[in-house]
Amino acid sequence: MTDLQALPKHQQYIGGAFVDSAAGAWLESYNPFTGKPWALVPRSGADDANRAVEAAHTALTSGPWSRLTASQRGALLRKLGDLIARDAERLARIEVQDNGKLLAEMGAQLRYLPQWYYYYGGLADKIEGSVIPVDRPDMFTFTRHEPVGVVVAIVPWNSPLLLASWKLAPALAAGCTVVLKPSEFTSVSALAFCKLVEEAGFPPGAVNVVTGFGSEVGPPLVQHEKVAKIAFTGGEAGGQRVLEGAARGLKGVTLELGGKSPNIVFADASIDDAVKGAISGIFAATGQTCIAGSRLLLHESIHDEFLRKLVAFARTARMGDPLSLDTQIGPVTTRPQFEKVLHYIEVAKSEGATCVLGGGPAARPECGEGWFVEPTIFSDVHNQMRIAREEVFGPVLSVIRFKDEDDAVRIANDSPYGLAAGIWTKSIKRAIGLSQRLQAGSVWVNTYRAVSYMAPFGGYKHSGLGRENGQDAIYEFLQTKCVWISTADEVPNPFIMR
Ligand code: NAD
């Protein structure tokens, strides 16, 4: 039994101060490799949400943040990027302890993370309004882009600081202030990140972090009247609740939700490359990525050979301690998620899919007490089965046959989701044609799971609303004002609209 009182306690960050929750309550953060708690974070509620939003609102309207120029905001963001670069290894290790993803992946992710702050820091003072050549000779008319206001950013557990930064960097560059709510399963890195925010010199209230259960602290944040916008990444059900809460206050929302993405392999593809692409689509990050290529669509002429090679390759995957650089598949992040993945494996079996690899919890000695699931592959899946329609968010692959291009597009698009898709082919004609026909926010050709701060990211259909990353993302946090200045000698007929 772990002595909870002996665990390190991490305070939340409100109005530039590190504080406990108003109720003085704590919740445990678990290490999925050991299955044991390793840290405590504040368990916040409505009082904490109010304090954080008030701090963000004061900073936005009358604090030092509100008086910074766009260039000064950009400089602060670039400084924060430098500090993240300095501490990338330390932050990556924290995230691995919280979410069990591989240090090899989280290290690379954290070393890449500063680019979001450099990119949006650079963009901050390049957002220009325009003079409109309006159709009235005695009017000078121009536009300004102004921050939307206080932003609530809510993120899940699979890439905590990356997904937070997709929101924080453009929102701060736009001049907004932010209240970040990390996942209750992985809050420690966000609290460590606040120390860097402070060191970079951000004025109090510009960035606030409150921790706690989504059901307790989420609604008071989303529904607070001084919040203008919610930027949410998470599951479909959570996204719907956020949208409903936001609708009552007529707030703006961006949603980055789940997926059931097709990874489509044609007969003319390089089979060895496509096998690696299928592996990276579903077993990287233990399948816990929104863009997981969880439906593998194989042309019938290569189906058997491909499946053989895929199973042989996946069988070699080394599971174990995510902090070891040799490990290729780590644990599932949370106990409920572990149970959910195992449940879906049973659902697939009961639906008649054929389990050709894995199919249960991993009992390998190197997996210890952690929450590990064997890399699992189902063949003979058809697209109406639950295992082909619902997001598992784990290392479970559904393999589906197709006859020709039209059949592949029909199956790929026959999904409630539309986050991503992969195409493996040597034909440029097919690649371009298909990339236009697939209903997905990201389409990768002969690669999978590539993202960049420069490239817009988001979902079609139930996978989301709005886009993150790239130049357009900053406009998710800006609103346009049009200013009309009359240069007429006198006010014309006041009874007629001009
Ligand atoms: P989740 O929806 O359970 O939780 C996400 C966040 O929402 C957490 O911080 C949680 O505390 C909070 N939350 C829960 N209920 C809330 C409420 N009523 N009001 C406000 N906030 C609330 O998702 P999860 O299990 O943490 O993450 C997995 C999901 O995230 C998967 O569906 C995955 O596809 C999705 N995801 C999407 C993307 C993307 O960019 N599209 C990226 C990563 C993960």
Q: Are strands 396-402 and 295-299 parallel, antiparallel or unpaired?
A: parallel
Atom of ligand 1 nearest to the CA of 159: 43
Is 426 strand, coil or helix?
coil
If residue 118 lies in a helix (H) or strand (E), which one and from where to where? helix 114-123
CA angle, residues 195, 87, 152, in degrees to nearest 5:
45
pLDDT of residue 492: 83
Place of tokens 């059900």: 237
| Secondary element (H or E) of residue 142 | strand 139-147
The b-or-e profile of 341-362 (16+ CB within 10 A means b, else e) is bbebbebbeebebebbbbbebb
- DSSP lists the bridge partners of residue 486 as 139
Which residues have C-beta atoms less than 6 Å from ligand 1?
154-158, 163, 181, 183-184, 214-215, 218-219, 222, 233-235, 238, 241-242, 256-259, 290, 391, 393, 419, 459, 464
Active-site pick, 256, 374, 391, 476: 256
pTM score above 0.75: yes
Tell which CATH architecture fits domain 262-445: 3-Layer(aba) Sandwich (3.40)
Q: Where are the domains of the chain?
A: 4-257+463-482, 262-445
Tell me, in angstroms, the distance from the centre of ligand 1 to residue 182's CA: 9
List the end-to-end C-alpha distance of the chain, in Å, as a whole number: 76
Please give the pLDDT value at position 494: 87
Would you call 478 helix, strand, or coil by DSSP? strand
**C-alpha of residue 56 to centroid of ligand 1, in Å:** 23
In testing the pocket of ligand 1, which one of 27, 187, 243, 256 has its CB within 8 Å of the most ligand atoms? 256
Question: What angle is formed at CA 396 by the lines to CA 394 and CA 402, rounded to 5 degrees?
Answer: 135
Q: What is the pLDDT along the chain (498 residues), one digit of tens a residue?
A: 678 888 999 999 999 999 999 999 999 999 999 999 999 999 999 999 999 999 999 999 999 999 999 999 999 999 999 999 999 999 999 999 999 999 999 999 999 999 999 999 999 999 999 999 999 999 999 999 999 999 999 999 999 999 999 999 999 999 999 999 999 999 999 999 999 999 999 999 999 999 999 999 999 999 999 999 999 999 999 999 999 999 999 999 999 999 999 999 999 999 999 999 999 999 999 999 999 999 999 999 999 999 999 999 999 999 999 999 999 999 999 999 999 999 999 999 999 999 999 999 999 999 999 999 999 999 999 999 999 999 999 999 999 999 999 999 999 999 999 999 999 999 999 999 999 999 999 999 999 999 999 999 999 999 999 999 999 999 999 999 999 999 999 988 889 887
Residue nearest to atom 15 of ligand 1 (CA): 214
Distances 96 to 114, 146, 161, 338 between C-alpha atoms, Å: 18, 38, 12, 17
Hey, how many other C-beta atoms are within 10 angstroms of the C-beta on 75?
17
pLDDT reported for residue 128: 98
Taking the C-alpha atoms of residue 51 and residue 73, their distance in angstroms, rounded to an integer, is: 24
Determine the pLDDT at residue 389: 98
SS3 314: helix
Token pair recorded at residue 371: 């929450």
User: Of the CATH numbers 3.30.43.10, 3.30.1280.10, 3.40.720.10, 3.40.605.10, which one belongs to the domain with range 4-257+463-482?
Assistant: 3.40.605.10
Q: Is 355 a catalytic residue?
A: no
